[in-house]
Amino acid sequence: MSGHVLFGVSLGLFSSVLFNTSYLLQHRALDGGPSLEFAKHPIRSLRELFTQVVWVLGGLLGAVGMVVYIVALDYAPLSLVQAFLAGGLILTVPLAIVIGNHAPTQREWLGASLMTFALVIFAFGAKAEGPTNAFDTHGLALLVGGAVGIGLMLAVIGLRNGPVALVGLAAGLFYGASDAMFNALVGIAHDGFMAVLKSPWTWTCAVTALLAFYCLQKSFKNGKEKPVQVIALMTAATNLTAIGAGLLVFHDPLGTNAFWSTAHALSFGLVAVAGWLLATTQAVVEGAIVEDPEVETA
């Protein structure tokens, strides 16, 4: 892995810390907080959100995390940046021990081990020397359209009939699609600000990001009884969508030869599995279900 790419994935890891801290703070602020009837009272709901100091702090950290993430995409391929962003979940294990007084389960140790192993593998046999922002327009349109279409269907079902975890899954699909479009826009930005402003991906990305924001806040508000499922599904959907986009739409290189290409492909799968296994430590750090037996047995 070149120094250029190493810097990019390091930024991806740092953005993970910012994003996850943001999610946890916002979930904490919404636990027992405002009703958030966006559909009926959008202005009032936004005003209620911005009166929550902890939520605003979480939002600021998330905004900084997004800036760091976008800069990372200018140094390393989307699939690698996303993998290392997911790798930040390893930090939830020591945080759960210190903050939640939680003894990690075998599931969580396995998740941390798989994540660490996958990130180590990415350090060897990497073919990438820099970002791959060039993309297949039709492929990106198909991926974004599919993610948004499925996400809307899941969000409607989850909001109307439940379970609310479906709303978290929808948020993950929207975030993954947004990440793919951010990567495309990083490449387009090299042609100047007006190129970004005129690009249809800019406005599509803005709408998708708003959908992700809405679903995330609703899942945090309504899913406090089962945050493990919400966190796990959101994380898995985001990682799979963004990493899939990197490999299939932006044609990120896998490895220098057949062996390393296979090893890296398997490592991407390990990242997704590890993120799912580590969802319980995220929930413990958030503190909403420290006493819930599901954390100990999931």
The pLDDT, as a whole number, for residue 57 is 85
Output the CA angle 204-209-215, nearest 5 degrees: 130
The pLDDT, as a whole number, for residue 43 is 72
**Domain definitions of the chain by residue range:** 3-297
Reported as a single tens digit per residue, the pLDDT across 142-172 is 999 999 999 999 999 988 887 888 888 999 9
Q: Which tokens go with 272?
A: 């997704």
Reported as a single tens digit per residue, the pLDDT across 82-137 is 888 888 778 778 877 776 577 888 888 898 899 889 888 887 877 766 667 788 89
Q: Which tokens go with 195?
A: 């190129």
pTM for this predicted structure: 0.77
Q: At a CB cut-off of 8 Å and minimum separation 6, what does 79 contact?
A: 242, 243, 246, 247, 250, 252, 268
What one-character-per-residue DSSP string does the chain give? Answer: --HHHHHHHHHHHHHHHHHHHHHHHHHHHHTT-----TTT-HHHHHHHHHT-HHHHHHHHHHHHHHHHHHHHTTTS-HHHHHHHHHHGGGGHHHHHHHHS-----HHHHHHHHHHHHHHHHHTSS----S------HHHHHHHHHHHHHHHHHHHHHHHHTS-THHHHHHHHHHHHHHHHHHHHHHHHGGG-HHHHHH-HHHHHHHHHHHHHHHHHHHHHHH-TT-HHHHHHHHHHHHHHHHHHHHHHTS-----SSHHHHHHHHHHHHHHHHHHHHTHHHHHHHHTTTTT-HHHHH-
Q: Among 21-25, 39-43, 194-198, whose mean pLDDT is lowest? A: 39-43
The pLDDT, as a whole number, for residue 296 is 43
Q: What is the CA radius of gyration of the chain?
A: 18
Dmax (CA) of the chain: 56
Confidence at 255, pLDDT banded by 50, 70, 90: confident
Name the average pLDDT for the chain.
Answer: 81
Contact between 284 and 102 (Cβ < 8 Å): yes
Name the residue with higher pLDDT: 215 or 285.
215
Average pLDDT over residues 27-53: 64
The pLDDT, as a whole number, for residue 68 is 93
Confidence at 295, pLDDT banded by 50, 70, 90: very low
